[in-house]
Amino acid sequence: MNPSYRQNQPGMWKKSGFTLLEVLMAVVIFAVIATIVYSAMNAAISRIGAIKDGDRVFAMGAGCLHRISTDLRSAYADPYPLFTPQNAEENPDPYAFVGQTDFVGGDSFSGLQFAAFAHLPVSTGSADPQKSAAALAQLRYFVEKSPEPDRGYVLRRGDRPFVWNADADQWDEDSAPVLCTHITEFALTYFDHKKNDRKTWDSSDDATDYATPAAVEIFFRIETDQGNYPFLTRVVLPAGREPLERVKSQ
């Protein structure tokens, strides 16, 4: 007996169940609803991933800005008459504030080296208590290609105290801690005491009148699969060496 038919009255059969058209319509409606629900869930999950990624990037970027700003606010340079241009020509100034442009992997980034009272013993890798306790250090910020694939460039902070043998102890770039990953831009702008801006700086050169910058603008960009995040701040150096011309006029 065909199960799609049932007996209604003696000797008579009546058709029951769903027609093929009704089944197809139900399948189409279910597919539409499932698609809508899946799209909504996928969008929510993607947004959660983007929020988590943004939180991580902003925390890393804010920490990086704080570290650079703290270092710059504690920058040191020999004042006059401890520093003289004649001595700088004969012997390189170990406390020189030098900002240059570095080319890495075909891209250009800012690089910076200066002295500051911001030594972090954890970055020296030295067990020497005297060396680890030194407060005045030579700091270096530089960008290099990330050793991990698909992570672009990384920003590193080199740190060595001024208790070293300059001939034997060179920069160990591999031990410099990584401050930021996924870097696509890192640009520093230097402002003199007349508020003129420069892309490079050398406090032992007459082009800057042997002064340290009055302020430094920090800009970098972090880019991930979820988006790109720019960071910008300007730091006024509370102490430093004034232009030689200004000192002579006083």
From the first residue on, what is the mean pLDDT of each consecutive set of 10 residues in the chain (250 residues)? 50 62 81 81 63 78 94 92 73 88 92 91 50 73 84 88 59 81 95 94 92 96 87 93 78
**Predicted pLDDT of residue 190:** 97
In a domain, 29, yes or no: no
**Predicted pLDDT of residue 80:** 85
In a domain, 19, yes or no: no
In a domain, 1, yes or no: no
Number of domains forming the structure of the chain: 1
Measured in degrees and rounded to the nearest 5, phi and psi for residue 247 equal -65, -40
Q: Report helix, strand or coil for 179.
A: strand
In a domain, 133, yes or no: yes
**Predicted pLDDT of residue 126:** 47
User: Is 209 in contact with 187 (CB distance < 8 Å)?
Assistant: no
In a domain, 57, yes or no: yes
In a domain, 37, yes or no: no
Residue 212 CA: distances (Å) to CA of 34, 58, 95, 115 = 65, 30, 10, 11
Quick check: pTM over 0.75? no
In a domain, 22, yes or no: no
The CA angle 172-176-180, to the nearest 5 degrees, is 150
Question: Whole-angstrom Cα distance, residue 76 to residue 137?
Answer: 9
Measured in degrees and rounded to the nearest 5, phi and psi for residue 152 equal 65, -125
Question: Whole-angstrom Cα distance, residue 203 to residue 85?
Answer: 10
User: Is 40 in contact with 204 (CB distance < 8 Å)?
Assistant: no
User: Is 193 in contact with 243 (CB distance < 8 Å)?
Assistant: yes
**Predicted pLDDT of residue 123:** 44
User: Is 180 in contact with 60 (CB distance < 8 Å)?
Assistant: yes
**Predicted pLDDT of residue 239:** 84
Question: Whole-angstrom Cα distance, residue 79 to residue 42?
Answer: 61
Q: Which domain holds residue 215?
A: 51-244
**Predicted pLDDT of residue 29:** 86
Write down the residue that tokens 């102490």 correspond to. Answer: 239
How many residues comprise the chain?
250
In a domain, 15, yes or no: no
